[in-house]
Amino acid sequence: MLPTSSVPIHRNGSLSARDAARHTAGAKRYKYLRRLLHFRQMDFEFAIWQMLYLFTSPQKVYRNFQYRKQTKDQWARDDPAFLVLLSVWLCVSTVGFGLVLEMGFVETLKLLLWVVFIDCVGVGLLISTLMWFVTNKYLLKHPSRDYDVEWGYAFDVHLNAFYPLLVILHFLQLFFINLQTGSWVILWETPCGSFDAISALPFLKNTAVLLYPFALLGLLYVLSISLGWNFTKGLCWFYKHRVQ
């Protein structure tokens, strides 16, 4: 059983003015950014645990998000350790990708900037904001200020889905780049893990509709097999030409 909230609440069900101020989006954002400058306060061991379970059992990761809501009154991460480790993965894997593709120093640096600011941050901001708007606008069981999807949680869902994609595309796929046959289909944004993240929010309804767009991935897979498309070669070509 999840523990109950430790946040003081008045008899009428509302937070005191002081506690409400500490739980605003601005206060949470300030606390999160401040912890980026204090590595000793980050729990890297727990962040590594999350990265491992995002591959094997995403439900356990989002169960911890529920625990955080009960104890700290927020769904989104309050520890930037996961973001820091993801940044390290981005740098190391992108450098490895540049070496395999025989890119120069400047081209590898451009690729790193593309991956960080466009693929991860830019696309993440777009998708997170879209999903945040859709869930709060159309999927709430009882729309109110007390029950809504935090934007920070939506961005965490993106990061959780981006990490397995990064490991597959920028690490595991490196061993298959020189294969000349077959079609290596890596169009995986961990739909099951993302659905677990949405399902973890008890105040949402009809969450299954968010899985409908992923049916296109199945169609792409069938087309790639029947037409002999090689997504690995296409990805390498795309990476090379966008940094030239």
3-state secondary structure of 140: strand
User: pLDDT tens digits for 138-179?
Assistant: 888 887 666 788 888 999 998 998 888 888 878 887 777 665
More confident position, 100 or 2 = 100
Angle (deg, nearest 10), helices 191-199 and 151-170: 160
More confident position, 212 or 152 = 152
User: What burial letters (b/e) apply to 27-49, b meaning 16+ CB within 10 Å?
Assistant: ebeeebeebeeeeeebeeeebee
pLDDT, position 236: 78
pTM score of the predicted model: 0.79
The angle at the Cα of 78, spanning 207 to 9, to the nearest 5 degrees, equals 80
pLDDT above 60 (res 11): no
Q: What number is the average pLDDT over the span 211-234?
A: 77
* Residues whose CB falls within 8 Å of the CB of residue 142, separated by 6 or more in sequence, listed in order: 203
pLDDT above 90 (res 198): no
pLDDT, position 193: 59
Lowest mean pLDDT among 3-7, 135-139, 148-152, 207-211: 3-7
pLDDT, position 172: 80
Angle (deg, nearest 10), helices 25-35 and 151-170: 40
pLDDT above 60 (res 41): yes
